[in-house]
Structure 1
Amino acid sequence: MAGVQYVNIRRDVDDKFYRYRMPVLLTKIEGKGNGIKTVLPNMSDVSRSLSRPPTYPTKFFGCELGAQTSFDEKSDRYIVNGAHDAAKLRDLLDNFIIKFVLCGSCKNPETDLTITKNEDLIRDCKACGERTNVDMRHKLVTFILKNPPKVPKKSKGTKKQGTADNQGTNGPNSPKAEAEEPAVDGGESDDELTKKIKSEAADLNQNATIVGEDWSVDTSAEAVKARMKSLEGGMGNVKLGDDDSGEEGNGDDPYSQLGVWVAENQDEGPVEVFKKVQEMGLEKKHRAVQVLAQTLFTEDILEEIKLNAPIFLKMVTSEKHQKALLGGLERFVGVDHPDLTPLIPKILMEFYQIDVLDEEIIKQWGTHVSRKYVDKETSKKVRKASEPFLKWLDEAEDDDDDDE
């Protein structure tokens, strides 16, 4: 295309006949003051050359710069908050290529990203055949696991082969088979959590009267209401109800039942908890996230967030889910465990670091008192306690702007 400049994907290779090339990354500064941002107008073209979704390098920039990012794939718009020099972003793109594109063995960029059964990221090289690991410590890894790569478009036969996977064309452990699995679709993901759920499903059904005996013996409305009443003190009058109605639970709705089960089985671990959520058909419901935030944790919440991170990474998939999580946490510290209110900055930090809560959503929540989940005074108290973390977010962004 006329006017488009290209460079070698490996810019350290000084060979004008190098076959792997990409467009030069372009940048455009928009806005001013606190609203200044760097738009990446050709990020989709650059990413297409790398066989990676454009959200990956954009998010990588945010991770490396400590800046908030946003993207709208429908309008093909990718943004990094703050004013960033084009040369600096191109250098960061080189780092992204080294870490998430180039084969760890032959340094060829013709690789696919795949997720293994153990939730490891692998660069599958089509040039030398080696499968090399990605550094799992990088924050971008969490984002990729939450937004798994789709089937590579370079392989024209991939879509046709998708119908043959069950016939053995691509084995269940093959990179293509793993990449084609949806992230969350009724428990069909190939990550470790869901694998365990699927493998243990038969045992769960056969031993239904053993696991949680009281729960399995009597699930009538009367029995559930009775257990709700007995747990009332410990659960702080959990506000549960229909997913969209905002009404209080009456003891026989699925959210109240989930809350009772989680409160009674907190020690079962993330696999059993998510299995119960799936069994009840609530894995995509934002209200289920609120229930878990209210009932899954104890005074050891900071450690428990790490333990249960896979659940929230799978279930928190939209802004509505994030707000439901914050609402549940608001009731957890504001009503159920008021003595833990001073920990809210650390709690928010934990969810922020595992990439479950976005900076923009946290800031919006922290600056708008709401009576949706708690009374107005409690809402004010919780948000007041969160101020150190909100200040940290603002200072991190200001520091980034000053550096520019």
Structure 2
Amino acid sequence: MASGPTVNIRRDVDDKFYRYRMPLLTTKIEGKGNGIKTVVPNMADVARALTRPPAYPTKFFGCELGAQTSFDEKNDRYIVNGAHDANRLRELLDGFIEKFVLCKSCKNPETDLVILKSGRHEEIIRDCKACGERTGVDMRHKLTTFILKNPPVKSKKDKKRNNAGTAAASVGGSNSPTHDTEDAEGADQIHDAAESDDELTRKIKAEAAELNPETAIVKEDWAADTSPEAVKQRMKALESSMAAVGMGDDDGSDEDVNSPYTQLGKWVEENRDDVESPKVFSVELYKKVQEFGIEKKHKTLLVLMQALFTEEATTEIKSYLVLFKKMVTSERHQKALLGGLERLVGLMQPSLIPAVPKLLMEFYQADILEEEVITQWGTHVSRKYVDKDTSKKVRKASEPFLKWLAEAEDDEDDE
């Protein structure tokens, strides 16, 4: 970010410790008479702080002032025709931030613009990374036409999702779009997200099987044994694994049945089936975790993965992604979550083995699990959370997703 004075992105927030800041917008008047124009020298830096293309706020100024605008992205030169006072443009920038940056729900600027298309109808929404909410913008504003014609450039992860032919599911159940890079200037064009999550899972399994037939997963080999004895054994395994996550060493060697982790696991199991709203239960669950004083502990993720989900985990997981996103704050947390996944599908719900790629995809798309962590986990068998054979089987099941990650990376390198 360029040197110079900075201000809060929300200038109505009078807090010198406010974490979201941007350079103070500056202007320079050039030309005379009919050729007079206002140049914004640091527009690129301001836009970078807002995570928006600099052409968007520049065009917004033009819409509000009824003036022509021009952009030279190569030379970072952004112009509004006419002579305009810096304070006036700063006020307009506040309007742009309110309408196209801030989350309507939590007023946090940590959002991405996403274009949804349904038939001929297109809608622009703000996808908040802070609270998980998706809120629409006023489609009556003239700037929306410009945004639809010049959609935001995708990030590296967005490109991978597009290569898989899928769209990330929002907390409310909406589907975000996929994009093609077809126009002459490299701007992404929007098309329908036609494939469902189930179709995605089938697709990546099929593609991986074509590359290496040995990676194909046969669900029949993992059919859940529902006999009373098998159920009893799985419940015993869960109780043992819960106890193994005591307050002792990181390897879980201390088996304390009275530890907060064991108590949390039992509380979740006793209450999860009476849930009327997963969102409400997420709040109650987080309060319970705070009550035990383990909301920042990585072992908490290990317990939640085992206790929260049932054989319907592939559908249940979407409702709890916001909770996991709030609690997973480090690589250590991610590894504990993956350990919980091993125990969930390897010990408690063997019928979920074929769904491992889909479960990983959900966490990956929600920015809860990082590519490097998944890859390292998937290529190193470990006995930390389950026995060696179970660890191998779970990682074997994850191979289609790992192959997809590797191929997407290769595609980006080629580009």
TM-score, structure 1 normalization: 0.50
Which residue of 2 is the match for residue 180 of structure 1?
none
Distance across 2 between alignment mates of 1:236 and 1:140: 42
Mapping of residues 320-359 of structure 1, within 5 Å = 320-359=332-371
Letter in 2 for 1:237: S
SS, match of residue 141 in structure 1: strand
Pick the aligned partner of 1:283 from 295, 303, 309.
295
Q: CA deviation at 1:133?
A: 10
Match of 2:40 in 1: 19
Per-residue CA deviation, residues 218-248 of structure 1 (Å, 9 max, x unaligned), is xxxxxxxxxxx99944836324222653224
Partner of 1:217: none
Pairs within 5 Å for 1:5-404: 17-19=38-40, 21-22=42-43, 46=45, 49-50=46-47, 52=49, 111=97, 113-115=101-103, 118-119=105-106, 135=114, 141=127, 143-145=129-131, 232-233=235-236, 235=238, 237-238=240-241, 239-242=244-247, 244-245=249-250, 246-267=252-273, 268=275, 269-402=281-414, 404=415
Once the two structures are superposed, what CA deviation does each residue of 1:162-182 show, in whole Å capped at 9, x if it has no partner? xxxxxxxxxxxxxxxxxxxxx
Deviation string 1:324-372 (CA, Å, 9 cap, x unpaired) is 0000011110111112111100000011111111111100100111110
Kept in 1: contact 2:383–2:391 (CA 8 A): yes
Q: Identify unmatched segments of 5+ residues in structure 2.
A: 4-24, 28-34, 54-72, 78-88, 117-123, 133-170, 172-231, 276-280
| TM superposition shift of 1:52 | 2.3
Aligned partner letter, 2:350 = P
Task: Give the distance between the partners of 1:114 and 1:399, measured in 2 at CA.
Answer: 33
Aligned length: 238
Structure 1 runs, 4 residues or longer, greater than 6 Å off: 107-110, 136-140
Whether the aligned pair in 1 keeps the contact of 2:112 and 2:127 (CA below 8 Å) is: no
CA distance in 1, matches of 2:265, 2:413: 44
CA gap 1:119/1:298 in 2 versus in 1, 3 angstroms? farther
* Closer, same or farther: CA 256–15 of 1 in aligned 2, 3 Å: farther
Native 8 Å contact 1:293 1:332 kept in 2: yes
Measure, in 1, the Cα distance between the counterparts of 2:38 and 2:115.
34
Is the Cα–Cα contact under 8 Å of residues 311 and 352 in structure 2 kept in the other structure?
yes
CA root-mean-square deviation: 4.2
| TM-score, length-scaled by structure 2 | 0.49
In the alignment, is the contact (CA less than 8 A) between 2:305 and 2:341 conserved in 1? Answer: yes
CA distance in 2, matches of 1:273, 1:244: 25
Q: Which amino acid aligns with 1:141?
A: D
Any gaps of 5 or more consecutive residues in structure 1? 3-7, 24-45, 59-89, 95-102, 124-131, 147-191, 193-228
Q: Find the aligned partners of 1:134 and 1:331 in 2 and give their Cα distance.
A: 37
Partner of 2:12: none
Q: Which structure has the greater CA radius of gyration? A: 2
Q: 1 CA distance for matches of 2:256 and 2:404?
A: 40
Describe the SS at the equivalent of 1:17. Answer: strand
In the TM superposition, what is the alpha-carbon distance from 1:263 to its structure 2 partner?
Answer: 1.3
Q: Which amino acid aligns with 1:19?
A: V
